[in-house]
Each structure stands twice: as structure tokens, then as C-alpha cells.
Amino acid sequence: MKVIIPPRNRRFSTVDALGLAGVVGLLVARYIPVARIIPFWGCVLREQTGWPCLGCGLTRVADRVSHLNFAGAWEANPLGTVAALLFALAAVVMVLHLVFAMPIPQVEFSPREWSVLGVLAPIIILVNYAYVVVKTRFPHLLL
């Protein structure tokens, strides 16, 4: 892994876009009760089969993170909580970058590191999904 520190700048980058998405998403989650005001909001797979989808719990995660209830967010979907916190971090970095011209480090991975990430990412997603399934369908198995 190689980290490159660019010169100070205010050029809009991918991290800024993710930060903007994080700000908008967390503000919507904080102030607009989406799950209550949109009548068709919900997981169709879970309603029809009782089994959660890969994204089950993400609305609750956004709501709980925006209200600083990190334990509740983690309970709803651990990987979603990590993603929401990374979006919040990107929002902080975006402000520092665009207001104070703080450089955003660029990370470059070697082909081998990309291969390792390509194997680890699906494993992490499957472990998270297994947790959500057990929590939803078999809560008695959890301590």
C-alpha cells in the first residue's frame, strides 16, 4: 500500500462526494422519518418470506447513527454501521478539505492487495448477512 499526500487544494474529489452523500443521508435520517411517511417503505423480501435481505436494517442504522445511538445501529446491521460512520468521517474530511484546503491522502493498493480485498470483502459481507439472518430469524441463538 502506498500513501500519497498531494499539495494543499480545494478540488472536489471522490471523498468530497462521499462526504456530501453522508451529510445529506444523515440529515435526512435525522430529520425526516422516511420509514413512517412513505407507505411502501420496507423490505419486500422480509415481508413475503420472513428472511432479511442484504440491506435489512440500513434505514434503522442511518436513523440510529444520526441520533448517536451507535449500539442500536450496530445491533441493526454491523456493516451498515461501519459504512454510516465512514460516511460521517468523509463528511468531516470534506469540510476540512474544502474549507481549510487540507490535502486528502491518496491510497494506492498493489495488485496483490486488491486480490486480498477481493477475497475479504465478500467474506465480510457474508458474515454480516449471517449475523442479520440469525438476529432476525433465530434470535434465541444469540446470547
How many other CB atoms are there within 10 angstroms of residue 132's CB atom? 22
With cut-offs at 50, 70 and 90, classify the pLDDT of residue 140.
Answer: confident
pLDDT at 16 > cutoff 80: yes
> What's the pLDDT tens digit per position in 83-109?
999 999 999 999 999 999 999 999 999
Please state whether the predicted TM-score (pTM) of the whole model is above 0.95. no
Report which of 9, 4, 17, 20 is spatially closest to residue 102, judged by C-alpha positions: 9
CB burial string 73-87: b at 16+ within 10 A, e below:
bbbbbbbbbebbbeb
- pLDDT of amino acid 38: 78
Question: For residues 101 and 10, is the Cβ–Cβ distance under 8 A?
Answer: yes
- Is residue 82 within 8 A of residue 62, CB to CB? The reply is no
- The residues spanned by each domain of the chain are 2-141
User: Helix, strand or coil for residue 107?
Assistant: strand
Average pLDDT in the chain: 93
Write out the three cell numbers for 3: 500513501
- Helices (runs of H) and strands (runs of E) counted in the chain: 7, 2
